[in-house]
Amino acid sequence: MSLTLLNADGAEWYPILFDTPSNIVRSVAIWLTLALIVAFVAVFFALKGDARRKFGRISLFVAIAYACVLGVLFLSLSFAEDGIVTLLFVPLLVLLVVLAASGIALCLRRDKAVVIAAACLSGAALIAVLVCIGVNYASGASLDANWLTGEDVNTVALYVFAAVLVAVMIALAFILGRHDRKGFDTRAITFAAVCIAMSFALSYLKVVEMPYGGSITVASLLPLMIYSYMFGVRKGVFAGMIYGILQAFQDTYILHPAQFLLDYPIAFSAIGLAGVFAQTKALRFPQVRFALGAIVAGFGRFVMHFISGIFAFGAFAPEGQPVVVYSLLYNLGYVFTDIAIVVVVGVLVFSSKAFIREMDRAIARNRTAAPAAAIAAETAATVAPAEEHVFTCPDCGAKFKAEGNVASCPYCNRPIEENTKSGIAAPASDKR
């Protein structure tokens, strides 16, 4: 049934769609991107050592520039062809400007006054967006634009579920990210901006677009999921929320204030849950940790769209089909197909040993300081100073020098004990 919905009237398959300038550019961009990815993989595995690392760094900058160019180009074409209601466009644009300015201000100066000012201005801008969406809904303009009437939308249920799910996402961010380092430093903000920009550009490379919102893309959510894996759930949820607001510009199906929250900021903030298993050492393989996190994130996003589909767009259900079944099948068809593509590409990326080392170092830098301090104190109390040894961490592969036969890896904080008979460093027993 989900495949039937993907073939329904109004579903557009962009790789072979050349009817408008934006669709021509999008179709060409899809095939060009796939060709560049194949070329990158071929060259990357053909090179060795320093040449491969240098090629990887250059490719990263090229990818960022390519993503930015695509984002600006597609956004310009969307405005020229589709347009967006001024009452919605202006407050959304102001909100994005305020968020960007707040990020820059926090990079330059992170004191209490700046944090309070950024939070107040961002909150006020978000409230202004919701008020304007409410005014547009009350006037009937959004209903007319979506061929609906006031009786087709369950306003009370939308507000209740939006409030509950906002609270759930905030609770999950704090509970699952309790070991994350608090606050955004310059590095975290910079990486967030890069990953959001790359995901936004890739989101224009649509394979299929559904008739009433939603699409299958070329792994557009992968950069956001990698960011969550690197910097933790709290920062990932926040980055996902910003990305969701950007999506409102591209895929404008804004009907109701609560529906806007469910389908955009809250739905994509759930993508930040992708990093939930990043520090779960019981899951030995990083590919498994990433894949499970991506599935959790995809399920979170699906729940938001599913609720919105029932109470905001249930009128589009075919005659005789329950609204719940319609929303389930409609959103299941594209959300999990999109996530499946991300999982496949992500598993390939996380199969690179060099990439995993960088991820482990990033994760170690973004953990709270308490576990590392506890390990250092325990080591200092039980091991007397001795001659210096060279250790190789079995987890992240880093080499470092330390005194004695037991040390803690400076990158991932893993306690290591040197086997003096074999000369091999092995994990030390610990009580963490």
Domains and CATH numbers, the chain: 2-83+140-363 (1.10.1760.20), 371-427 (no CATH)
pLDDT value, residue 7 = 52
pLDDT value, residue 370 = 41
User: Is residue 169 within 8 Å of residue 269, measured between CB atoms?
Assistant: yes
pLDDT value, residue 152 = 87
- CB under 8 Å to 270, separation ≥6 — which residues? 169, 237, 240, 297, 300, 301, 303, 304
CA distance 347 to 328: 27
Q: Which two tokens stand for residue 82?
A: 């589709």
* Cα within 13 Å of Cα(129), Cβ side: 27
CA distance 49 to 117: 48
DSSP letter for 317, please: S
> Tens place of pLDDT for every residue, the chain, 432 residues?
444 455 554 556 666 666 777 778 778 887 888 788 788 878 877 888 788 778 877 877 777 777 767 767 776 776 676 667 778 878 888 887 888 788 778 777 777 888 888 889 988 988 998 898 888 888 888 888 778 888 889 999 999 999 999 999 999 999 998 877 777 777 788 788 878 888 887 887 888 888 778 888 988 999 999 999 999 999 999 999 989 988 887 766 788 899 999 999 999 999 999 999 988 888 888 999 999 999 999 999 999 999 999 999 988 898 889 999 999 999 998 999 999 999 999 998 888 887 888 777 777 777 654 444 443 443 344 334 446 667 777 766 667 777 666 677 766 666 776 554 344 445 554 443
pLDDT value, residue 368 = 54
Please give the order of strands across the beta sheet that includes 12-13.
12-13, 206-209, 215-217
pLDDT value, residue 243 = 92
CB atoms within 10 A of CB 65: 10
pLDDT value, residue 82 = 64
Nearest residue to 74 (alpha-carbon basis) of 10, 39, 30? 30
Q: What is the DSSP string of 247-258?
A: HHHHS----SHH
Q: Which two tokens stand for residue 92?
A: 């959304």
CA distance 216 to 205: 9
Q: What is the pLDDT of residues 310-357, one digit of tens each?
A: 999 988 898 889 999 999 999 998 999 999 999 999 998 888 887 888
Secondary structure (3-state) at 12: strand
CA distance 246 to 192: 14
pLDDT value, residue 371 = 45
CA distance 415 to 393: 9
Q: What is the DSSP string of 358-393?
A: HHHHHHHHTB-HHHHHHHHHHHHHH-----EEEEE-
pLDDT value, residue 411 = 61
User: Is residue 291 within 8 Å of residue 297, measured between CB atoms?
Assistant: no
User: Is residue 277 within 8 Å of residue 292, measured between CB atoms?
Assistant: yes
Dihedral sign from CA coordinates of 232, 395, 220, 211: negative
* Cα within 13 Å of Cα(139), Cβ side: 11
**Partners of residue 407 on adjacent β-strands:** 416
